[in-house]
């Protein structure tokens, strides 16, 4: 689907004395190379999965997540297929090595992981390992791992997202009639996918919100360049997926 993302996600849970039970999530869109990870409280995992809307979710075999109840909950909330992977695929050392080897770096500090490892790194490593095994093709277009900071975005639980009918209607579970379908006037699939991410993860930082509003105001008040930009965008291919 050109106007919707198609994500592979992975989850890894860990427990510390300071933060309690935490979950690391990583998700990638293979067609575009968009690769992100985040840390979240373990009880928010399902809510974040609803926002990411993956088609497939990786979990460690034999872990606390590898139980029928969690698998059923993920499928009911997102429609995703849950796949068990060997525990070593989520191992801290293996994940760091896999990611450093993929990005040809010695540490992940440049990607925003100054302390080297956290649960989201294990999830990201499991994603790359799974893609290497299943795709049998070069993954060179996945050039960076973006650390997603939840504090920069409004936290919306999965039930609220569904009740607000942001992506799909409650009655038909389809896009037509949803908030996104009503306001989406983007000229490309790239723009539609970006708009979907903006609605799913609303900004909370004042400066970022004002900067986005100022950019929109420029186009609203200058219709001629707006129309020209839309005309040029309409002639473009799906650049991020080429």
pLDDT in tens, 117-156: 789 999 999 999 999 999 877 788 899 999 988 888 888 8
Cα–Cα separations (whole angstroms), residue 185 to 3, 65, 79, 89, 179: 11, 39, 27, 41, 12
Q: Could you read off the pLDDT of 54-100 as tens digits, one per residue?
A: 999 999 999 999 999 999 999 998 889 999 999 999 999 999 999 99
Q: How far, in Å, CA of 192 to CA of 183, rounded?
A: 10
Which segment, 91-95, 115-119, 211-215, 237-241, is predicted with the most confidence on average?
211-215
Q: Tokens standing for 68?
A: 């029928």
CB atoms within 10 A of CB 95: 29
Whole-structure pTM value: 0.84
């Amino acid at each position: 689907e050109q106007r919707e993302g198609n994500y592979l996600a992975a989850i890894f849970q860990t427990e510390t004395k300071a933060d309690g039970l935490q979950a690391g999530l990583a998700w990638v869109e293979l067609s575009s190379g968009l690769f992100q990870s985040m840390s979240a409280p373990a009880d928010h995992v399902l809510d974040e999965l609803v926002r990411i809307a993956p088609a497939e979710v990786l979990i460690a075999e034999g872990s606390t997540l590898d139980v029928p109840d969690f698998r059923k909950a993920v499928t009911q909330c997102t429609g995703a297929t849950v796949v068990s992977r060997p525990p070593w695929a989520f191992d801290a050392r293996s994940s760091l090595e896999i990611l450093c080897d993929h990005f040809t770096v010695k540490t992940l500090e440049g990607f925003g992981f100054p302390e080297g490892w956290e649960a989201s790194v294990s999830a990201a490593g499991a994603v790359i390992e799974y893609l290497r095994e299943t795709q049998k093709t070069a993954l060179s277009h996945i050039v960076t791992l973006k650390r997603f900071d939840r504090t920069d975005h409004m936290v919306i639980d999965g039930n609220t997202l569904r009740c607000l009918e942001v992506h799909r209607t409650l009655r038909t579970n389809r896009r037509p009639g949803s908030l996104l379908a009503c306001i989406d006037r983007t000229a490309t699939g790239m723009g539609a996918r970006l708009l979907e991410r903006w609605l799913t993860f609303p900004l909370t930082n004042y400066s970022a919100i004002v900067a986005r509003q100022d950019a929109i105001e420029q186009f609203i008040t200058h219709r001629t360049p707006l129309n020209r930009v839309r005309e040029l965008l309409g002639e473009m291919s799906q650049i991020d997926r080429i």
